[in-house]
Structure 1
């Protein structure tokens, strides 16, 4: 295992981060050390924490929860479908991907809710535009204002504009956490920095300080229009100087605290597991954070999907399995709910490259000791298709509604701008 790298942060990197901050200062996440985050007394007993895990690129739901009882699947997928004997049966119709043994164990224990057919009306196959809708809970995307978690923060903790209520681990924070009044904390994963070294962390989107990119994902289909910088130069320079002063100290404290975290749980050596271990460190350490965000890329499987997606499923299952085991060691962990989502699924039929192009709907997963496990929603039909895609059967905002209302006691309409039926998994 490699030792932590303690190099000074280059002025170029700080200037890059600061320059990006000039583009949208009200949305720029702030980076703080763990000392600023530890506010255990602020978290009322029994409070629940939410962890949002984004599978960026468009996870293929039909290769995650496999409708093995439907011959249509095998008619459309000659080379990308798993053999029935490989799968982990859930019932006579559905089965887990063979790499998702941890999901199967959580489902059997009643701690996993599978919400099938999640999507939204008038679906969009663009990574960028679709994720905007998921990040805001609004079909207008960023034009509707702050991200949905940012709106939740303003509604639930309006008189407490502290940055420690929401934390994103990773160098590229999703728009969902952005707020003009309650900016989140965004830090690179300290454990990933330790395990993979500086260059690899930068390659996977992390950094010693938050280098926020407004883009949803590197697979975005549309460029981001950046506004010219015409004013506020003095204030911006002061911000850069402060960033330079704070970045080394705060990132070192965060890295040190996360690396010092002691757990008997053996996490696998992948980037997602590293970030989740850091989340567990903050949750089990009694931090006052209420919402955590983690992002994993690599789900845009246009070619050779069977190999690539199985590899993703193996990493996801192993990382989540360790994380959930770690959470169950403390009361705070037992009060944590984990939601896994992606911007869309993949098309039913495989393409000419043994992969699948962008689809319209897919499953969401909700884990936790507080979760009423089982199947929710309806599995989309493989015969009644929408232009070659499975149709959505559950509006994803019903999942948001459920966690907003039952975890945080907030009126979901105040966050989402409209009413959606809650589900019974909480």
Structure 2
């Protein structure tokens, strides 16, 4: 089996590409749990328009800058006398009223980058905007604290940079049964008989062959554990809804996984934003509603925290195509039943005091949110993962 054939036939490789130093550690997989709390991360990919998500409906400047794009006051789901939710987020109003939602406004980072790819990398790696990293913040969490790759799972076919560490990667899978069946494919069984051959050197991916063999036990564990639970909750029939349904089955089955990662794409709304954002926020809200209820029904919501972010917000002023262009600061949603500060965590940014590009000024570094989640929720040393200290917030 040469390199070309291996890569051509191995769709498993993208999910299980661990670096060589991990192989020996994997062969001695530990069964003990390292904590019971779970974190679910959701990315709204493309740059969701935060100003039409959390809406300052009493601010005349909002409607002045968005004469045809602003959400009409009569349609806003009001949460107080000044601020309301996009009408598609009605399910989140229930979470808000129950104390299960915190909205953190004006989240960003110094010297922002408006490229989708670069800003996403910055959020994934938790580095300064002028620095680059090959490892993500969850990947480094795994490096320091996990004993097995399924300690973090991305519900997708490929792995985001956030989930890649220096010595350990998370696992990417959308279907645990298909993942398990793939690991039993005769092609990979054939690798086992060749694993001791001299030609399987690190240069020609010998280490990757070994990793594929070792990862078979991970696929087996995920499948055999998750199949013990079948959700009775009806989810929206779309890709994102299915992601959350799979995540709920993993959580409710007792899978020893600490972090789950999912995403909803399509938020790059330069043109005709109203209908696109309405549809996407509706998918998000209804799927989250089903997910939270599924966890509540099975007694796992108390120990689950959901973090939703987008790589940047949009400009305050609408463009000529009834859309919005790339901006900077945005809002972050925190959903859970252990929130210390519920509702609006902080005030919205001023619409009369924008930066030089017409963007909202950021107030809270997104890494302070990560640091708080690592320290207070996952109960690990945030500085060890993020390489520097950030001010702890008080939402949990």
The answer to whether the Cα contact below 8 Å between 1:284 and 1:330 also exists between their aligned partners in 2 is yes
The answer to whether the Cα contact below 8 Å between 2:226 and 2:255 also exists between their aligned partners in 1 is no
| Displacement of 1:154 | 2.4
| Displacement of 1:236 | 6.7
| Displacement of 1:102 | 1.4
TM-score (norm 2): 0.83
Q: Match for residue 263 of structure 1?
A: 231
For residues 178-200 of structure 1, what are the alpha-carbon distances to aligned partners after superposition, in whole Å with 9 as ceiling and x for unaligned? Answer: 11222211112469x9xxxxxxx
Work out the CA distance in 2 between the residues paired with 1:94 and 1:380. 12
Q: Match for residue 225 of structure 1?
A: none
| Displacement of 1:331 | 3.7
Q: Please tell me whether residue 232 in structure 1 is matched to residue 203 in structure 2.
A: yes
Q: Please tell me whether residue 364 in structure 1 is matched to residue 355 in structure 2.
A: no
Work out the CA distance in 1 between the residues paired with 2:171 and 2:205. 24
Q: Match for residue 375 of structure 1?
A: 344
Distance 1:260 1:78, change over 3 A: farther
For residues 178-231 of structure 1, what are the alpha-carbon distances to aligned partners after superposition, in whole Å with 9 as ceiling and x for unaligned? Answer: 11222211112469x9xxxxxxxxxxxxxx89xxxxxxxxxxxxxxxxxxxxx7
| Displacement of 1:259 | 7.4
Q: Please tell me whether residue 128 in structure 1 is matched to residue 117 in structure 2.
A: yes
Higher Rg of the two aligned structures:
2
1:62-211 matches, cutoff 5 A: 62-139=51-128, 143-155=132-144, 157=145, 160-189=146-175
| Displacement of 1:270 | 1.5
| Displacement of 1:391 | 1.1
| Displacement of 1:417 | 1.9
Q: Please tell me whether residue 335 in structure 1 is matched to residue 312 in structure 2.
A: no
Q: Match for residue 190 of structure 2?
A: none
Q: Match for residue 409 of structure 1?
A: 379
Distance 1:234 1:54, change over 3 A: closer
Q: Match for residue 197 of structure 2?
A: none
Q: How many pairs align?
A: 366
The answer to whether the Cα contact below 8 Å between 2:122 and 2:129 also exists between their aligned partners in 1 is yes
3-state SS of 1:161 partner = coil
TM-score (norm 1): 0.77
Q: Please tell me whether residue 42 in structure 1 is matched to residue 33 in structure 2.
A: yes
Please tell me the root mean square deviation across aligned C-alpha atoms, in Å.
Answer: 3.3
Mark the runs of 5 or more structure 1 residues left unpaired by the alignment. Answer: 1-9, 31-35, 194-207, 210-230
The answer to whether the Cα contact below 8 Å between 2:108 and 2:363 also exists between their aligned partners in 1 is yes
For residues 368-412 of structure 1, what are the alpha-carbon distances to aligned partners after superposition, in whole Å with 9 as ceiling and x for unaligned? Answer: 111231212331111111111111111111111111111122222
Q: Match for residue 321 of structure 1?
A: 289
Mark the runs of 5 or more structure 2 residues left unpaired by the alignment. Answer: 184-201
For residues 347-375 of structure 1, what are the alpha-carbon distances to aligned partners after superposition, in whole Å with 9 as ceiling and x for unaligned? Answer: 11111111111000110000011123121
3-state SS of 1:74 partner = helix
For residues 38-93 of structure 1, what are the alpha-carbon distances to aligned partners after superposition, in whole Å with 9 as ceiling and x for unaligned? Answer: 96x6255xx21000001111010011101111111111112211111011001111
